[in-house]
Amino acid sequence: MAGNAETDREWYVKTTIKELVIYLVFLTILCILTFGMMSPNMYYLTKVISELFLESPYEDTRNNVKGSTQIIDYWRFEQYVLHDCLFWEKWYDNDGTPTLQEDRNVLYENRLLGSPRMRMLRVRNDSCVVHDDFKSSISECYDVYSPQVEDKRPFGVMNGTAWTYFSERELGGSSHWGLLATYSGAGSYADLGTSQAESKAVMAYLKENLWISRATRAVFLDFTVYNANLNLFCIAKIVFEFPATGGMIPSWSFRTVKLLRYVTTSDYFIFICEIIFTVFVVYYLIEEILEIKRNKCKYFKDFFNIQDILVLVVSIMCIGFSVYRNMVMEGLLEDLLSRPDNYPNFEFLGYWQTQFNNLVALTVFLAWIKIFKYISFNKTMTQLSSTLSRCSKDVAGFGIMFFIVFFAFAQLGYLLFGTVVRDFSTFAKAVFTLLRLILGDFNFYELEAANRILGPIYFLSYVFFVFFVLMNMFLAIINDTYAEVKAEIASQKNEFEIADYFKKGFNNMMGKLGKRNQLLDLQNALKLADSNGDNKLTFEEVRQKLRQQNFTDMEIEMLFAKYDINNDRELDADETKMMLADLDNQRLEIERQVHKPESNESSNTVTSVTMASLVSQQDFNGLSERVDKMENSIGNIVSKIDAVLNKMAAMDRAKTKRRENMNKILNTISEVLFGPMEKKKHKRQSISLETKIAILDRLGKGEGSTAIGKHFNLGESTVRAIKKNEATIRKSVILGTKLSTKFASYTRDVLLERTERAIAIWIEEQVQRRIPLSGYLIQEKALQFYKSMKQSEPSTSPSQPGKEFSASKGWLTGSLKRNALYIIKVTGESATADEGAAKIFPEELAKIIEDGDYSAEQVFNADETRLYWKKLPNRTYITKDEKTASGHKASKDRVTLLLCSNASGDRMLKPLLIN
């Protein structure tokens, strides 16, 4: 970026806002897509289907699938639940009225697609090794399931799909992650048909021929229902796992997905959003490629760049799967319609649709996190990212120590309680159990029941070492880093931010309505004034920016003098921060006064008598409109007059400069031709008695001193002096006495008057800061103000040529009187000496010497004296309407000299100098 600081900063802000707006449009489209895929009805469909199959009770035991633990429970499920839940062939009335073929839907609303399928996986008899001592009595051994020990041989009746092994490719299936193992998509299967009679016949045949035996390790029930009312598919899988330990462990999976994407009007709106989303992905892909080409390896060092790549990769995968899903879905529906009695395999598509939903959810999450990239432009918003990035190394280093202890406790818990407690039955479960324990989710009584001694010891030691010590160390690291980051951000220079840009635009709009906020202009100008980026504001930088906001040189000079504490004509970071803080306080105070509600007393003082004397609402509205028009007109006129005056002032300065240059040239020529000339003495002019009488007459008519002084080319102080001596002047008129010699008629120095006003403001600021002032300090500051103003306005000369302002004591006395200031004594820290103890100490010392029988050579006395460096005075100046001034701490810039000698005076220790 090129250009000055203001242009660069504003360009950066505008670019950030532009990128943010484009990104918000992209984020909005993405949210429409993701929320368009989801519906609360998905949850309810999953709930009713799962409860129908999992919580329907067995008539003989009142148990259900969730409580099943034995092989016999599987056949109870088949007998009492399976057929009635799959095939709804009768209505709910007592007569058992049969339903029509098209109404035979699960729960009367969900069409069963094709035929449900039962699939089984078996293991070989020789899949495990029997110990030698038991080989004579145990001839069969069936190992836990793994693809390597699958039984691929025909069994049972030896023919038919239910008794023959088929590979995963032949079945078009996929693996399943169960509770005990990961099962392949192979095995033997039996389709149950499309009616309750067919289903019962198939299951009776399987049960009669012992389809489930000791070799069985898992049985899968797969079916799919479609709800046309909601355009939703529910792909169900109920798994019965038969572990090598015996018994049965049920598990299930119900996936409700929307596979037919474009049906309703809202679906086609989503389709349009998908096209727009694809365009955005292409746009951002090209942008990232260009950035990688430009920045090369540096590109990958930025966290947000890595995040952009992740969002793009996931988005491209989602777009590809969406196209693939539509193509596959068309083929599945065509096959289902052509062979309605076959099993439709929606499992693969349902699984990847679920993964697609997960990817979309991840995309939305990353997209929302990216907003931090734009709001971090504000330095307050960077606290979180700065804290995490700065403490990451410390957290990572301590994290290694934490996880060593954590995994040690997890392994200990697994070995101690793994055979008894379910939450510690595997190492992975032990890890998650300990994480839950940190969050307060634990079952202490289960540990105590497992081992009455080791259980409580394990629990208490883990809580103490991990929760109380190690976890709080993480918080301490983050908290300490946050404090450092917050302190650094507070000490940084205030920069032009996004909020300032919007405020500036709003202020420009309000300026066209005549309601411009100059405090806001002043704040923005100061934030953009540092053109060279050195974190210091020189007088010229401040003057240049404030002149662009139509501030006068006098206002700029007074503002700069107020905050330039060290008088180096520069505002450092602390001084600039102080200035902006004061401006914020002033702005808040103004807003508080503007929005301050009127008291109830004032609002209720209008009586019926006064109401009668008020103008009508119509007249009031008319007057208000006229006043508003007049104010707008005056505002435009004033702005134009200011512009004309600024141009005239510039012309006057240029003319004065040319005149000075011409005078220098003429003086040089005269000295060369005629030699040096003596300077003529300036003659003091006198004011005639007639002029004084005219001034008094105009004052009597109510005319102001400033206007009269301009008319007669006199200073305001001279006009006030004439007014003060009015009685004597009029008496002189009667007596005919000339008083022209009694009143000097020179015009008071304009710069001197400005200096006195600036000094008065400066004294008030120092008193508020609890800084005491002496006459010498005021004289020195006045000289600095005067010289500074004279440099900025060289055309303004003193009214008495040849006499420069020296800030004498006489001027100080007169200036303090003119500004109603007087001196008082201030008190700071309270005295530490105890006067009561000092009075009785001599008697106590004499008693100590007498009791101890000390000689004069043994008694030593030490005292100290101090030399101060620029010690602050204990007096200061305040206005007459103030009674007191706050104290201050005494100066600490000193050296201390400690002297010590005995009472006889024959032994003196070396003096000690303390800095």
Q: Give 493's DSSP letter.
A: P
In single-letter form, the type of residue at position 574 comes to: D
Backbone angles phi, psi at 280, to 5 degrees: -60, -40
The answer to the question of whether 60 is labelled as a binding residue is no
Give residue for tokens 């301590």: 398
Question: Helix or strand or coil: residue 686?
Answer: strand
Backbone angles phi, psi at 221, to 5 degrees: -110, 115
**E strands, 347-416, in order:** none
Among residues 71, 485, 428, 486, the alpha carbon closest in space to that of 247 is found at: 71
- What is the CA 11 to chain-centroid distance, rounded? 22
Among residues 78, 88, 91, 85, the alpha carbon closest in space to that of 51 is found at: 85
Among residues 110, 61, 97, 109, the alpha carbon closest in space to that of 81 is found at: 61
Residue 88 Cα distances to 97, 225, 323, 497, 914, angstroms: 11, 13, 36, 67, 102
Encoded tokens for 868: 């101060």
With vertex at residue 210, the alpha carbon angle to CA 207 and CA 213, rounded to the nearest 5 degrees, is 125
Strand partners, 897: 865, 913
Among residues 109, 64, 52, the alpha carbon closest in space to that of 254 is found at: 52
What share of residues in the chain are helix, strand, coil (percent, to 5)?
A: 60, 10, 30
Backbone angles phi, psi at 438, to 5 degrees: -60, -35
How many angstroms separate the CA atoms of 296 and 378, rounded?
A: 27
> H-type helices in 529-616, by residue range?
539-548, 553-563, 573-594, 600-603, 608-613
Residue 505 Cα distances to 45, 66, 117, 502, 510, angstroms: 52, 65, 68, 5, 9
The answer to the question of whether 660 is labelled as a binding residue is no
How many angstroms separate the CA atoms of 8 and 541, rounded?
A: 16
8 Å CB contact between 905 and 848: no
Segment holding 651, helix H or strand E = helix 617-674
Q: Give 297's DSSP letter.
A: G
Give residue for tokens 């200036």: 815
How many angstroms separate the CA atoms of 529 and 510, rounded?
A: 23
How many angstroms separate the CA atoms of 545 and 523, rounded?
A: 11
CB contact set of 474 (below 8 Å; sequence gap of 6+): 395, 398, 399, 402
In single-letter form, the type of residue at position 733 comes to: V
The answer to the question of whether 564 is labelled as a binding residue is yes
8 Å CB contact between 770 and 889: no
How many angstroms separate the CA atoms of 763 and 876, rounded?
A: 9
Encoded tokens for 256: 């409700």
Sign of the C-alpha dihedral computed for residues 774, 776, 781 and 783 taken in this order? positive
The answer to the question of whether 575 is labelled as a binding residue is yes
8 Å CB contact between 606 and 594: no
Query: How many Cβ atoms are within 10 Å of 407's Cβ, its own excluded?
Result: 14
Sign of the C-alpha dihedral computed for residues 381, 383, 384 and 389 taken in this order? positive
Among residues 267, 257, 358, the alpha carbon closest in space to that of 314 is found at: 358
Among residues 526, 545, 550, the alpha carbon closest in space to that of 536 is found at: 526
Annotated binding site: 564, 568, 570, 575
Annotated binding site for Ca(2+): 564, 568, 570, 575
